[in-house]
Amino acid sequence: MTKKYNVMRKILIPTDFSEVSKNSLRYGLDLYRRTESIVDLVHIYHPAFDPGQTEIIDVSSGVEKILESKMKDLISTTSMFDLDVKGKVEVGFATERIIEMSFNYDIIIMGTTGVSGLLGRLFGSVSTEVAEKSHCPVLLVPPNISFEGYKNVIYACDVDGVSTEVLNEIMTFAKRYNAKLHFVHIKDGDKDIEIILPKDIEVDCTVNEIEADSVIKGVNLFIEKKNADMVIIATKQRSFWEGILHTNHTNEFVLNIKIPLLVYHDTRK
């Protein structure tokens, strides 16, 4: 589904009050600093079990009041970004509720839970499922990075090429940040593809086909070659997406976890 920006961009940033989620908040606010954007922070918890909590909460003191206090404290740290930031605490299952909320937002920004840089452990289960099933783009932000602009952005293309819908989205994104856009197809036995770009394109682009043993390895090598700042995929690209989720533990490749992953949603049938 294509989002149309009418007056204000609407941004959803889920948080569990961990350092990883606080970092993704700072990254997102820096990314959209001084833009026409509304930012909603949300913490979703289940009263019987809330694995997102990093400290023991005395239930008798009122879990919701404590969480609302934590949300208020978090919002107080955002004043320097010149954005309209609001927060709320909801009861429910985090993954399901965030996916439901995605209908009403232009982008979701979430932290990832990398452990030792291993690809198979790069995403937390909530971030992964939201990125795959969300109805708006999702930006996954690795731990311990800050926003410093974009110079080289990689779009990893599969055998279906690039849809017009997704192309328009990523061109707008690259133009906004004056980034060079690299379309990359990793050839590992698949048929050749032809990436057709508009003649009047206003973004500096390259089109690349690379032979590699796997999509993951090929993208990883290209990231290093171009010193890339971001990787973009679309969820219709099953081979790439499933390669991230189901990499064999004996054959894991280290994906540069300093690079955010922006997930668009290709609605082609």
DSSP secondary structure string, 77-88? T-GGG-SEEEEE
Distance CA 92, CA 141 (A): 24
Average pLDDT of every residue of the chain: 78
Please say whether the dihedral angle defined by the alpha carbons of residues 158, 159, 160 and 165, taken in this order, is positive or negative: positive
| pLDDT tens, position by position, 165-182 | 788 888 888 998 999 999
Mean pLDDT of the region 87-115: 89
Q: Report the range of poorest mean pLDDT among 31-40, 76-85, 122-131, 248-257.
A: 248-257
Neighbours of 62 (CB within 10 A): 12
pLDDT, one tens digit per residue, over 24-67 is 999 999 999 988 999 999 999 877 655 455 444 444 347 888 89
Written as one letter, the residue type at 164 is T
What are the tens digits of pLDDT across the range 62-87? Answer: 788 889 999 999 999 999 998 999 99
| Bridge partners of residue 86, in order along the sequence | 40
Q: What CA–CA distance (Å, rounded) separates 237 from 131?
A: 13
CB atoms within 10 A of CB 80: 9
DSSP 8-state symbol, 260:
-
| pTM score of the predicted model | 0.82
Whole-number pLDDT of residue 192: 62
**Residue 11 pLDDT > 90:** yes
- Per DSSP, the chain holds a count of helices (H) and strands (E) of 7, 10
8 Å CB contact between 95 and 43: no
Distance CA 220, CA 218 (A): 5
Residue 133's pLDDT is 86
Which helix (H) or strand (E) covers residue 226, if one does? helix 215-226
For residues 258 and 81, give the distance between their C-alpha atoms in angstroms, rounded to a whole number.
22
176-220 pLDDT, tens digit per residue, is 899 999 988 877 665 566 666 777 778 898 988 888 777 777 888
Strands (E), the chain: 9-14, 37-45, 84-91, 107-111, 138-141, 152-157, 180-187, 205-211, 230-234, 261-264
At 149, is the pLDDT very low, low, confident or very high (cuts 50, 70, 90)? very high
Cβ atoms of residues 140 and 261 within 8 Å:
yes
Confidence of residue 116 (pLDDT cuts 50, 70, 90): very low
- pLDDT score, position 249: 32
CA dihedral 23, 26, 31, 34 (to 10 degrees): 180
* Domains of the chain, first to last: 9-141 (3.40.50.620), 152-259 (3.40.50.620)
> First vs last Cα of the chain: how many Å apart?
12
